[in-house]
Amino acid sequence: MKNPYLVVIDVQEKLFPVIHEKETFLKNIQILIKGFQLFDLPIILTEQVPEKLGSTVEPIKSLLPDTNPIIKSSFSCAADAGFSLKANYMTNCDGVVLAGIETHVCVYQTERDLIHRGEHVEIVTNAVASRNFNNHQIALDRIRNNGGFLTTVEMLLFSLQEKAEGETFRELIKLVK
């Protein structure tokens, strides 16, 4: 996978405060977003019924000021017409990277549906989270069994970088330290 797009799923005001190890999760997802921006790769943002769950948390929203979230009510992003329309424009992309919350609901169902469509899907294990750690772990196991690939923020970003040279590499090192 050389040219993926990132989907940041439902990191919202009423969900985020109750997420297991939320500060570590937030730090990792911020690095991931900045990494995708460094490589100039597309990012899709979603919000699950924001009238009930609030909008995207400010630390994420501030990194994506020109990105309008796709508002959805289905747990799976792939079951939403607005998401599917936007994803269909990602013709130059060779894979989908998923991050966000909750691992066992929206992330899992999105991965399942994208895999069924024949997409290459990678889940960033330290940039997805749930309220309950057991739900998170079981979801990662199911995702792996579905054919989704598990990765980490650094593993993914260094895989995109490939070589320890150039300005992008120097910026990436600063980002992950």
The pTM of this model reads 0.96
Q: Are 61 and 35 in contact (CB under 8 A)?
A: no
At residue 175, the pLDDT reads 94
At residue 69, the pLDDT reads 97
SS3 sequence, 136-174? Answer: HHHHHHHHHHHCCEEECHHHHHHHHHCCCCHHHHHHHHH
Read off the pLDDT band of 162 (50, 70, 90).
Answer: very high
pLDDT tens column, 92-106: 999 999 999 999 999
Arithmetic mean of pLDDT over the chain: 96
CATH number, position 96:
3.40.50.850
Q: With 90 as the cut, is the pLDDT of residue 155 above it?
A: yes
Q: With 90 as the cut, is the pLDDT of residue 91 above it?
A: no
Listed in sequence order, the residues at least 6 apart from 167 whose beta carbon sits closer than 8 Å to its beta carbon are none
Q: Could you give the number of structural domains in the chain?
A: 1
Alpha-helix residue ranges (DSSP H) falling in the chain: 22-38, 50-53, 58-61, 81-88, 108-116, 133-146, 153-161, 166-176
Q: With 90 as the cut, is the pLDDT of residue 107 above it?
A: yes
- What are the two backbone dihedrals, phi and then psi, of residue 56, each rounded to the nearest 5 degrees? -60, 140
CB atoms within 10 A of CB 158: 17
* Structural domain harbouring 118: 5-176
